[in-house]
């Protein structure tokens, strides 16, 4: 290509930033604009990782280096689908890469799931991470001393840990003041985590699982009922070092005597949630069906049911992507239909100049490391298509700024993020903490645009 390539990336999380980084390191002369509905970059690293996970947030340092590249610009507080759509973007860019991830909760179709006191984990995560679109207050019930968490992935562990630890333990993190105040009202003493299958089938990572016991105020209790390893489980253990480590940690918890800590995280295996029990319109319990491993690592129901007296339920059964305006969407899989990263229409034909990467491409599976190889696959396809891309009508970089200004959109920039970043660090320093997040969108935009 003799001219400079112009590319827009929708979504400033790891998937979008990795795609931009890989593309700028190619042999093609390219400039990239990353647009995000949040006023800040980093996506789920900022708003999806529990605040007591500073090591994972170290990834932000690498992402900052990418966004400091002069060939990459950041536009925050720009909402795709409301502020602009694909046909608008095609006026300014040769290609558009959608990397919007997955922020919503996947549905769990069981009776009672909509009762008061039943919550989605994604909503809870957005609240305690201080997302500007989340409510300022969380409706903790002072009667909810026993809580159920449905799902055995890392998000389920994050939710259980945040509910079990005391509010003051979180003061060493970057939680906003409203989150600390809300956690003060949390009455939970016993958090029950339910797994439909056995210990070898959970999706925890060993590090996340070990961190459960790092608080002196929390006992981790693994219950022996359902702690089974069939031949399918042993195959998983032999094939995966990570699975073996997880099972080893669980066995250590199983053998450990409780210390008498004030808060307890209980892990139950072979318990399939079948109904949230209610009274007066709110949660009073959870009914599970006891399952048994069938030899392959899967389970079958036994017909035996157990009722658990819990006063709140958090479902952590997976994330779900949002439908994107102007491009196809598979509502069943909650992804944009694609062929390796090329967006395809209802007839299976590529949508010219439209690409996807990350969870919107493949669903909410895999760790952050998988995101980089996924982005590389998408960029390889884009580069293979370069000579056939339709040139935009307005390729000048400043044309995008003029368009957004003309629409009255108060967008933020990378320089604005650096200003907000320093402001949050200063707030933390004043309080003897590393950082305190600014929560209201209007405050973030004002500080970033000051």
Q: What is the CATH number of the domain that holds 271?
A: 3.50.50.60
Do 199 and 344 share a domain, yes or no? no
- Residue-level pLDDT at 368: 73
The confidence score (pLDDT) of residue 1 equals: 66
The pLDDT of residue 340: 96
Residues facing 268 on adjacent strands: 194
In terms of Cα–Cα distance, which of 321, 368, 273 is closest to 55?
368
**Domain CATH number, residue 18:** 3.40.50.720
Considering the domain architecture, whether residues 124 and 255 belong to the same structural domain is answered as yes
Do 152 and 210 fall within a single domain?
A: yes
**Would you state the pLDDT for residue 446?**
98
pTM equals 0.94
pLDDT at 59 over 90: no
CA dist., res. 362 & res. 340, Å (int) = 9
Render pLDDT for 291-306 as a digit per residue (tens, 0 to 9).
999 999 999 999 999 9
Specify whether 315 is located in the same domain as 397.
no
**83, part of any domain:** yes
Residue 365 has a pLDDT of 81
Percent of the chain with pLDDT over 70: 100
Q: What is the number of structural domains in the chain?
A: 2
pLDDT of residue 394: 96
State which residues form the domain around 214: 106-319
Share of residues in the chain with pLDDT > 90 (%):
93
Same domain membership, residue 292 and residue 172: yes
Q: Looking at the domain assignment, is residue 132 inside a domain?
A: yes
Judge contact between 327 and 336, C-beta under 8 A.
Answer: yes
Is there a single domain that holds both residue 155 and residue 218? yes
| Mean pLDDT computed over 386-392 | 95
260 backbone dihedrals φ, ψ, rounded to 5°:
90, 20
- Say how far apart CA 278 and CA 129 lie, in whole Å: 29
423 assigned to some structural domain: no
Question: pLDDT for 246-293, tens place per residue?
Answer: 999 999 999 999 999 999 999 999 999 999 999 999 999 999 999 999
- For residues 426-449, average pLDDT: 95
Residue 361 has pLDDT above 80, yes or no: yes
229, 131 contact by CB (below 8 A): no
Per-residue model confidence (pLDDT) at position 423: 97
In three-state secondary structure terms, 6 is strand
Mean pLDDT of 315-328: 94
189: in domain:
yes
Q: What is the mean pLDDT of residues 121-150?
A: 96
Rounded Cα distance between 95 and 386, Å, is: 9
Adjacency order of strands within the sheet including 263-268: 118-120, 312-315, 146-150, 190-194, 263-268, 218-222
Is residue 366 predicted with pLDDT exceeding 80?
A: no
**213 shares a domain with 182:** yes
Is there a single domain that holds both residue 308 and residue 331?
no
Is the per-residue pLDDT at 386 higher than 70? yes
pLDDT at 152: 95
**118 and 85 in a common domain:** no
- Output the pLDDT for position 65: 94
Does the pLDDT value for residue 413 go beyond 90?
yes
pLDDT in tens, 101-117: 999 999 999 999 999 99
Q: How confident is the model at residue 55 (pLDDT cuts 50, 70, 90)?
A: confident
Residue 2, pLDDT > 90, answer no
Dump pLDDT digits (tens) for 169-221.
999 999 999 999 999 999 999 999 999 999 999 999 999 999 999 999 999 99
């Amino acid at each position: 290509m003799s001219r400079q390539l112009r590319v827009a990336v929708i979504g400033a999380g790891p998937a979008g930033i990795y795609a931009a980084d890989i593309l700028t390191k190619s042999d093609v002369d390219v400039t990239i604009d990353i647009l995000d509905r949040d006023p800040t970059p980093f996506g789920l690293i900022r708003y999806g990782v529990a605040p007591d996970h500073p090591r994972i947030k170290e990834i932000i340092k690498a992402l900052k280096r990418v966004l400091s590249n002069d060939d990459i610009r950041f536009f925050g507080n720009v909402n795709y689908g409301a502020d602009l759509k694909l046909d608008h973007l095609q006026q300014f860019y040769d290609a558009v890469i959608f990397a919007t991830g997955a922020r919503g909760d996947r549905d769990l179709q069981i009776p009672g799931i909509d009762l008061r006191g039943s919550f989605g984990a994604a909503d809870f995560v957005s609240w305690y991470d201080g997302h500007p679109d989340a409510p300022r207050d969380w409706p903790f019930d002072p009667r909810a001393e026993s809580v159920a968490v449905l799902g055995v992935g890392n998000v389920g562990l994050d939710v259980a840990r945040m509910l079990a630890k005391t509010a003051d333990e979180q003061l060493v993190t970057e939680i906003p003041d409203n989150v600390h105040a809300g956690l003060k009202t949390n009455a939970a003493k016993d958090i029950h985590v339910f797994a439909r299958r056995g210990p070898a089938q959970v999706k925890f990572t060993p590090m996340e699982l070990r961190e459960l016991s790092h608080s002196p105020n929390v006992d981790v209790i693994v219950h022996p009922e359902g702690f089974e390893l069939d031949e399918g489980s042993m195959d998983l253990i032999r094939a995966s070092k990570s699975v073996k480590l997880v099972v080893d940690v669980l066995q250590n918890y199983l053998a450990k005597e409780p210390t008498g800590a004030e808060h307890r995280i209980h892990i139950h295996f072979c318990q399939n949630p079948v109904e949230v029990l209610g009274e007066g319109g709110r949660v009073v319990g959870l009914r599970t069906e006891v399952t048994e491993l069938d030899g392959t690592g899967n389970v079958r129901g036994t017909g035996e049911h157990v009722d658990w007296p819990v006063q709140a339920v958090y479902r952590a059964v997976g994330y779900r992507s949002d439908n994107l305006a102007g491009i196809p969407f598979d509502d069943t899989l909650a992804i944009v239909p694609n062929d390796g990263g090329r967006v395809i229409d209802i007839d299976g034909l590529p949508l010219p100049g439209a690409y996807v990467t990350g969870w919107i491409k493949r669903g909410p599976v895999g760790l952050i490391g998988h995101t980089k190889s996924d982005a590389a696959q998408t960029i390889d396809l884009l580069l293979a298509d370069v000579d056939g891309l339709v040139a935009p009508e307005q390729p000048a970089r400043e044309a995008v700024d003029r368009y957004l200004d003309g629409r009255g959109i108060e967008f933020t920039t990378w320089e604005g993020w650096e200003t907000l970043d320093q402001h949050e660090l200063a707030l933390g320093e004043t309080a003897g903490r590393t950082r305190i997040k600014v929560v209201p969108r209007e405050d973030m935009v004002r500080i970033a645009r000051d």
